[in-house]
Amino acid sequence: MKKLNELIERVKFLPNKRLIAAYAVDTHTIEAINQAVDMGMIDATLVGDADKIAASCKELNISTDKFKIVDVKEEYAAGIKAVEMVAKGEGDLLMKGLISTDKYMRAILNKDFGLVPPKGLLTHITVIENPNYHKLLIVSDVAIIPLPDLSQKIIITNLLAQTAIKLGIEKPKIAIISAAEQVSPSIVSTTDAAIISKMAERGQIKNCIVEGPLSIDLSIDMESVKIKGMKSEVAGDADCLLFPNIEAGNVFYKTNTKLAKAELGAIVAGAKVPCILSSRGDSAETKMYSIALASLMS
């Protein structure tokens, strides 16, 4: 799969999923959900201020009859209600609307509903279609975990592999990113990467090929690989990138979208259902791709 449109085509043939959207009062969210409903991907419930939902639907010329609407006026209360509905089995997917990311994540992590398994880890996974790369890139974490430790990186590596396999990549190539490809005891990200790579080599992490530490250029640019004489199955052809910290991941994410005009879909993985997490300012198209990704992962 090289284009995000291929993701939508694949999801079209899957059974409909039930989507619950938290504080879905804005036009971008409603437009994306409407498109997904029209394509037969989902049945949708919008949780939020019913008056604002009606106003956004009117602006878009969309009938409110296409959705189930649960009237909750306040932003965080709408997030809690959406999570509660999913926890009770009323939805297969959770989606972030105009609610802020911190309130959305607090609602997901609310222990009263058990959406996160005991000792579970939530991580943000993004699938990027960059016009300058020859296939889709699957990356983590760019939005949730500030500084993942070794055990968290191992979990993220497995979640990246699972996502890639769902996208049709039989044995995904995962690059563990650092500032350089040399292992240095003074740079924790390089020693973590070396450990994870060795674990994969010994079969402790399955169904993927892992290489690290790798600099970003060696991960995605074959010319750099040739110049530096790097020999690796992953170098220059990575399917997945695991970043050492949220700064590196977030800068990569936003540079792709703002300077390279990349398209993307994003979810939170690790909860009992896929949780769609895109920026409040993201386009309806980005939100649509995120719905499709969540539907495929469900």
Residue 48 tokens, joined: 């939020």
4-116+271-297 belongs to which CATH class? alpha beta
Cis peptide before 65 (omega within 30 of 0): no
- What residues does CATH 3.40.50.10950 cover in the chain? 4-116+271-297
Q: Given pLDDT bands bounded at 50, 70 and 90, which one contains residue 2?
A: confident
CB-CB contact of 171 with 160 (8 Å): no
Residue 108 has pLDDT above 80, yes or no: yes
Element (H, E) at 246: helix 246-258
DSSP per-residue codes, 147-201 = S--HHHHHHHHHHHHHHHHHTT-SS-EEEEE-S-SS--TT-HHHHHHHHHHHHHH
Cα gap 173→241, rounded to integer Å: 9
Residue 281 has pLDDT above 70, yes or no: no
Residue 296 has pLDDT above 90, yes or no: yes
Cα gap 207→63, rounded to integer Å: 45
- What residues does CATH 3.40.718.10 cover in the chain? 123-258
Q: Which tens digits make up the pLDDT trace of 188-239?
A: 999 999 999 999 999 999 999 999 999 999 999 999 999 999 999 999 999 9
Residue 280 has pLDDT above 70, yes or no: no
143 vs 153, higher pLDDT: 153
CATH of domain 123-258: 3.40.718.10
Residue 113 has pLDDT above 80, yes or no: yes
